[in-house]
Amino acid sequence: MSQYSISPTGEKFPLPEQEDYSREFERLEEVVKSQRAFGREIVLVMGLGFVGAVMAAVIADAKDEKGNPTKFVIGMQRPSTRSFWKIPLFNRGISPVSSEDPEVPLLIDRCVNEKKTLMATFIYDALKLADVVVVDVQCDYLKEALGNVLDGRADMEALEESLEIIGQHIRPEALILIETTVAPGTTEQVAYPIIKKMFRKRGIGKDPLIAHSFERVMPGKNYVSSIRDFWRVCSGVNEEATRRVAEFLSEVLNTEKFPLTVLDRPIESETAKIVENSFRATILAFLDEWSVFAEQNGVDLIKVINAIKVRPTHSNIIFPGPGIGGYCLPKDGGLGLWAYRHIHGFEDDIFKITPLAININDTRALHVAQLTRDALRNMGRPIASAEILVLGASYREDVGDTRYSGSELIVRRLTEMGAELRVHDPYVLHWWEFEKQDEYPASSRSLKRFFRGQEKLKDLRVGQDLKKAFQDTDAVILSVRHKHYMNLDPDEVVKNAGGPIAVIDCFGILEDENIRRYFELGCEVKGLGRGHVKRIKDQVREAKSQLPLNIPLQFAADKMGG
C-alpha cells in the first residue's frame, strides 16, 4: 500500500517507490549535463528546512558580472512521510517554508521556473553530481528536564547520518560546507573522521575538503537578506578547504558590502556561533531577576530599559518578554557545554553563566501563569474555571515561527492549573506543538511531558478572528508584540469580552493611558516587569473614591478623561 506525505495545506503526495529512484537519477544526470555545458557549478543543499530552502535559492540566484547564473542547485530532502511533500512543492516553485518576507516565494519561484537553476530531489545519489555540498540539516540539543540544560545531550543523529551518506557518495574533490550549528569541534573531530573513513573504504586517498560557516538567518521580514546581505564567518579543515569555502561564499553572498571573516580553524567558526547566541541568551536572562524586582517595587522596567538604551554602550539591552524562543537560543549554549565534555573530554565544570541563562529563559514564561492567577484572584475568579485568551503563539513579533515560544509554556502551565485556553495569532494557522503534540517536534520530545493534563490541547486551534477571540473571556494575555496587538482599544476589548477582564502584559505592550483605562473599566492589569501598574490602580481607585456615590462607574470613567 502506498504511503503518503501530506503538505501543511493538506495536499497528499505518495512516497517514491523503488523504481522511482533510478528514474530520478537519470533525470538529474540529464539536467546536470546541460547545466555543466553552461559552465555552472553544481551545488547540492542537504536539508530543505528553514535555512536550507532559502539558502538553496540564494545560491541558485548567484550570477556573474554579465548577469549569467553561475550555479545550479539541487535541494535534497529525505523522502519521509513528514518531509517528502517539500520536494514536489519546491519543484513547482513553491516555498516549503512560510515566511513574512515577500522575497522568499518570489526568489524560489524565479530560480525554479524562470532561471531554471534550482530543483529538489529525494535521492542521495544526487550527491555524486555535486561540486559543493552545503549541509543544512538539524543538530538538536535534547533536554531531559525543564529548566536544567545540563540534564541533556546533543542529538547528532541527523548530522552524522548525513555525513556518512555524503562520504559514501561525493566526488573526492567536492567541497563539503557545514552550515548547521554544531557542537564546537564537530567539523574536525566528528565530520572529518566520518568522511575520511568513508573515503578510505572507497579507496580514495585524497584529504576531504570540509569547511564550516554558520548561518545567521533571521525568520521575518528580511529572511532572504539576512542570508545574502550579511556578514559571514568561515574556516576549513585545511588550506584548500579554507580557500574553496571563502571563494564559494564570495560568489553567492554579498561579501563586497558584508566582508567575510576567515578564521584559522573550523572550531573557531563553530565557537563563534555558540558564543554569539549564548551572549544574546545571557543578556536576555540577566533581566529576568530585574523584571521580578520591578514588579515587586513599583518600577516599570520598560521605561527603565528605554532610559538606559540611550547610552550607545548599552543600546542592545533588551526586555526578554515571556521567555526566549526560536530554534537557536534555547539550544546553542547546550551544544557548547556538551562539546567540552563529550568531544573534548574535559571533566571540570567551567560553565556557570551559559547554562544558567538558558535555564532562566526556558522557565521565564511560567511566571506569566502566576500573574494571571493573581489578577484573576483579585477579581474573585478562580483560575481553574477561567477562560483565557493568549494573543500570539510565535516566539517573536510579526513572524509565524512557534518553535519554543514562551506562549507554549504559558498555555501548558495554565492548562495544568485547570484553565480553558484559546489562542489567536494572525501569522500561525496551525500550532503543531499542540495539534501534533505526540510527534512534534519529535516523538516523545514534546514539552507536554513536563506538565499534567495536556491531552485536550491536541484540539487547540489558532483563531484568526480577533473580535471573536475576545468573546466571554476572563483574561487576556498579551504575549507577543505582533502589530495587531499594539493598539488595542480597552473599551473595545472590554465590550467584546462582555465585561471586565484580567489583562496580562508580557512584553511592554500597554501604554500607561491604556492601563489606566482598563482599571477604570473595572479590569485587573498585571505585567512582566511592570510594577508601576499598582500605582496606576491606586490612582484610579483614589479618583473613584472621591466621586459622588450616585455617579455610575462608566460615566465616572468618562468624566475622568480615561
Residue 47 C-beta: closest distance to ligand NAD, Å: 3
Residue 181 C-beta: closest distance to ligand NAD, Å: 4
14 φ/ψ angles, rounded to the nearest 5 degrees: -65, 140
Judge contact between 507 and 480, C-beta under 8 A: yes
Q: Is 187 in the site for ligand NAD (CB under 6 A)?
A: no
Contact map string, positions 196 to 215, toward ligand NAD, x by CB under 6 A: -------------------x
Closest CB to ligand NAD among 52 and 562?
52
Cα-atom radius of gyration of the chain, to the nearest Å?
26
- Give the distance, in angstroms, between the CA of residue 264 and the centroid of all CA atoms in the same chain: 30
Residue 97 DSSP code = S
Pick one of 136, 362, 433, 505: the residue that binds ligand NAD (CB under 6 A).
136
Closest CB to ligand NAD among 80 and 296?
80
Closest CA to 411 of 369, 382, 441, 371: 369
Q: Is 439 in the site for ligand NAD (CB under 6 A)?
A: no
Residue 152 C-beta: closest distance to ligand NAD, Å: 15
Q: Is 537 in the site for ligand NAD (CB under 6 A)?
A: no
Closest CB to ligand NAD among 51 and 411?
51
Q: Is 139 in the site for ligand NAD (CB under 6 A)?
A: yes
Pick the stretch among 56-64, 133-141, 239-247, 248-256 that binds ligand NAD (CB under 6 A): 133-141
Give dist(CA 215, CA 179) in Å, integer: 6
Closest CB to ligand NAD among 53 and 391?
53
Please work out, in degrees rounded to the nearest 5, the angle formed at the alpha carbon of residue 514 by the alpha carbons of 512 and 519.
Answer: 95
Q: For residues 47-86, which are near ligand NAD according to CB under 6 A?
A: 47-52, 76-78, 83
β-sheet bridge partners, residue 120: 75
- Give the distance, in angstroms, between the CA of residue 39 and the centroid of all CA atoms in the same chain: 37
- Half-sphere exposure (CA, 13 Å, Cβ side) for 271? 10
Residue 72: what residue type? F
Residue 156 C-beta: closest distance to ligand NAD, Å: 11
- CB count within 10 Å of CB 537 equals 19
Give dist(CA 155, CA 64) in Å, integer: 39
Pick one of 70, 138, 278, 415: the residue that binds ligand NAD (CB under 6 A).
138
- Give the distance, in angstroms, between the CA of residue 68 and the centroid of all CA atoms in the same chain: 34
Cell numbers representing residue 168 in the block? 559514501
Closest CB to ligand NAD among 119 and 540?
119
Closest CA to 523 of 470, 466, 459: 470
Residue nearest to ligand NAD (CB): 49
Pick one of 56, 59, 130, 217: the residue that binds ligand NAD (CB under 6 A).
217
Closest CB to ligand NAD among 175 and 375?
175
Size of the site for ligand NAD (CB under 6 A): 26
Residue 208 DSSP code = P
Q: For residues 310-339, which are near ligand NAD according to CB under 6 A?
A: 327-328
Residue with cell 502584559: 505
Residue 137 C-beta: closest distance to ligand NAD, Å: 4
Q: Which residues sit at the interface with ligand NAD, rule CB under 6 A?
A: 46-52, 76-78, 83, 136-139, 158, 161-162, 165, 180-181, 215, 217, 219, 327-328
